[in-house]
Amino acid sequence: MILYRVNNTHEPKNSGYAGVEVRVSKEDFIEWFMQRDFEGCSVDRINNHGHYELPNMQVIETWRNIAKDKVKIKGGNHWCSRCKKYKPKNEMVKSSKRKLMGVTTTCKSCDVKRRRDRYSRYSEEQKEKNRQRCREYYYRKKAEREAAS
């Protein structure tokens, strides 16, 4: 997988690997990895701009690895991975599933757009189903609150 990405930097999604070298033999890598392997893990370069060499490698949870690539802060501004711009922190979405280390990777205007785009793809039938689900959720919560009080 690593070799594939490094050797295929012409593919847009791998472009971040341009100039990255693999400085570890397959045998050494396997031995190193076998001692650290766990379910849902992926190999991370500690320094994202460094090469694949053992001192610069660690095994971390895949989700953490993905988020690490996305969370970027420069001069107090946060990187929005959607509009590809640095924005002040108060323009970033506060809480989201994508939140990591207290930082989100989506700005407010992109988040609104994302939700609108997703919603506009729904058919009328799906929208009605959604509304129905919201109503059910509301009434269930209401019933729970009443039962608790």
| SS3 readout for 26-68 | HHHHHHHHHCCCCCCEEEEECCCCCCECHHHEEEEEHHHHHHH
Does position 43 interact with Zn ion (CB under 5 A)? The reply is no
Q: Which is nearer to Zn ion, 94 or 141 (CB)?
A: 94
Distance CA 135, CA 19 (A): 53
Kindly tell me which of 24 and 110 has the beta carbon lying closer to Zn ion: 110
Residue 83 or 134: the one with the smaller Cβ distance to Zn ion is: 83
What 3-state DSSP class applies to 103? strand
What is the pattern of x (binds Zn ion, CB under 5 A) and - over residues 101-120? ------x--x----------
Assess contact for 40 and 62: CB atoms under 8 A: yes
Give the per-residue contact string, 2-41, with Zn ion (x = CB under 5 A; - = no): ----------------------------------------
Q: State whether residue 25 is helix, strand or coil.
A: coil
Closer Cβ to Zn ion, 73 or 134, answer by number: 73
| DSSP SS3 for 107 | strand
Residues 48-107 that bind Zn ion (CB under 5 A): 80, 82-83, 107
Report the interface residues with Zn ion, using CB under 5 A: 80, 82-83, 107, 110
